């Protein structure tokens, strides 16, 4: 009788051990599958954007050519629509060859409206898209492939010409440093001092911005405000941005300026990290002499 009880207990123990082993293997397999999926997702996004580098020849910027272009380039009638010139009227822009082959890019995706390049953090060098809402490109790449890396995209409420007083550009804080994963480097003032400038290229204009504020803000912060009642309202907005800065850049900003806000997540659901720059130069973009050596990949 005793032997039977021991055998019975031993059998139950073996079943339990086997079940635990099966569960452990299942958990391990799921974790491995999850890691592989994440890796492949990262790789897909990285590979896709790497292919886009052939459409951009902006590794070394040469400011200004000898020619000038005369234009009357006002943006709109509302106060909040900044003019590309200094407070309106007819002005002359220096001409710069556009290093971005927008014609080919827009054949791949008509939603591309610009290209962003950061001087101090050269890994941020991406096309900018704009969807009908702020969800579409949150988890879709430039080629509209489902991918949690998403795209760098302009707020859908902004005008695509970056002519409003504050244009907001979003990107994911990817762990591998892609997209806006390297934007947080601007927490370090020494990185900022390396070069305080970034560039936005569009099909017809090239804009140079000087960073005046880097800060961590609430996700509902007024830093994301796009429209303003008047110049006083915009000036208060600027004061608020400056007060939240992690360090003093010494850059003067006032209500006559035009701003771009670059935004990414922080790992804290409630906050975002932003880098804000004011426009300091505008160039008239002309096609690259000799054309672009790119092949459209439909």
> What does the pLDDT look like over 197-227, one tens digit per residue?
999 999 999 999 999 999 999 999 999 999 9
Q: Where are the domains of the chain?
A: 56-286
**Which of 139-143, 155-159, 240-244, 273-277 shows the lowest per-residue confidence on average (mean pLDDT)?**
139-143
Better-predicted residue by pLDDT, 16 or 29: 16
- Name the average pLDDT for the chain: 83
**CA–CA gap between residue 292 and residue 101 (Å, rounded):** 6
Residue 49 has pLDDT above 90, yes or no: no
Instruction: Answer for the pair 97, 288: CB distance below 8 angstroms, yes or no.
Output: yes
State the pLDDT at residue 291: 78
The residue with greater pLDDT, 11 or 200, is 200
Task: Give the pTM.
Answer: 0.79
pLDDT value of position 148: 83
pLDDT above 80 for 15: no
CB 26 within 8 A of CB 18: no
Q: What is the largest CA-CA distance in the chain?
A: 106
Kindly state which CATH superfamily the domain 56-286 is placed in: Sortase (2.40.260.10)
- Quick one: what percent of the chain has pLDDT higher than 70? 72
d(CA 125, CA 83): 26
């Amino acid at each position: 009788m005793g032997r039977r009880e021991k055998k019975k207990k031993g059998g139950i123990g073996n079943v339990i051990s086997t079940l635990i082993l099966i569960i452990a293997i299942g958990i391990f397999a799921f974790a491995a599958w999850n890691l592989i999926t994440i890796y492949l997702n990262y790789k897909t996004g990285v590979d896709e954007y790497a292919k886009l580098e052939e459409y951009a020849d902006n590794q070394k910027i040469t400011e200004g050519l000898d020619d000038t272009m005369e234009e009357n380039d006002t943006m709109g009638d509302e106060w909040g629509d900044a003019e590309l010139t200094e407070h309106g009227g007819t002005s002359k822009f220096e001409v710069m060859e556009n290093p971005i082959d927008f014609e080919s890019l827009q054949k791949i995706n008509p939603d591309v409206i610009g290209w962003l390049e950061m001087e101090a953090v050269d890994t941020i060098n991406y096309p900018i898209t704009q969807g009908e809402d702020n969800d579409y490109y949150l988890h879709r790449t430039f080629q509209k492939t489902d991918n949690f890396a998403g795209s760098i995209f302009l707020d859908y409420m902004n005008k695509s010409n970056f002519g409003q007083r504050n244009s907001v550009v979003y990107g994911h804080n990817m762990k591998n440093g892609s997209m806006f994963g390297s934007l947080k480097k601007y927490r370090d003032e020494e990185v900022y001092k390396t070069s305080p400038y970034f560039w936005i290229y569009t099909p017809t204009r090239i804009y140079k911005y000087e960073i005046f504020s880097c800060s961590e803000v609430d996700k509902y912060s007024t830093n994301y405000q796009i429209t303003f009642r008047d110049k006083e309202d915009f000036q208060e907005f600027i004061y608020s941005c400056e007060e939240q800065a992690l360090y003093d850049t010494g850059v003067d900003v006032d209500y006559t300026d035009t701003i771009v806000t670059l935004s990414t997540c922080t790992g804290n659901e409630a906050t975002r990290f932003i880098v804000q720059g004011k426009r300091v130069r505008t160039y008239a973009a002309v096609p690259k002499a000799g054309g672009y050596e790119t092949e459209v990949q439909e």
